[in-house]
């Protein structure tokens, strides 16, 4: 399973089907929270992940199989809710504290 050190993360990409709707919304909310860490949050369609620069991929669980297929070596974190998901909150605090992050 892929693993990355929280302290070394520079870019997170949020993926959705079209890369224009829900991913943009989640990316915007996350960017605000991670600004102090100097982490860039971008968005992308799930089928173009391979050509998008990133350290961590974040997407809805319904698309995580395809995300993992597109970038098998990346950390792919799946969330369930677009608003107020604990998994996203945990990712943010892991990044703030520089913990290791893995998707297993």
Chain centre to alpha carbon of residue 34 = 12
74 binds another protein (CB under 8 A): no
Whether the CB-CB separation of 73 and 2 falls below 8 Å is answered with: yes
For another protein (CB under 8 A), the number of binding residues is: 41
> Cβ 101 to another protein, closest distance in Å?
6
Query: Does the active-site annotation cover 59?
Result: no
> Residues 18 to 57: which contact another protein by CB under 8 A?
18, 20-22, 25, 45-47
Return the structure tokens found at 87: 């998994």
* CA–CA dist 9, 6 (Å, integer): 5
> Cβ 35 to another protein, closest distance in Å?
20
> Cβ 34 to another protein, closest distance in Å?
15
- The DSSP result for 45-86, as a single string, is EGGGGGGS--SEEEEEHHHHHHHHHH-TTSEEEEES-SSS-H
List, by residue number, the catalytic residues.
Answer: 16
List residues binding another protein (CB under 8 A): 1, 6, 16-18, 20-22, 25, 45-47, 60-69, 76-78, 80-84, 87, 90-91, 93-94, 99-104
């Amino acid at each position: 399973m892929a693993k990355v050190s929280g302290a070394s993360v520079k870019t997170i990409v949020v993926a959705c089907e079209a890369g224009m709707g829900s991913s943009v919304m989640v990316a915007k909310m996350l960017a605000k929270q991670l600004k102090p860490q100097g982490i860039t949050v971008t968005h992308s369609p799930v089928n173009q992940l391979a050509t998008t620069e990133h350290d961590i991929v974040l997407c809805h669980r319904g698309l995580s199989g395809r995300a993992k297929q597109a970038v098998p070596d990346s950390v792919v974190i799946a969330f369930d809710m677009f608003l107020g998901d604990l998994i996203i909150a945990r990712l943010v605090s892991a990044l703030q504290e520089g913990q290791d992050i893995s998707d297993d």
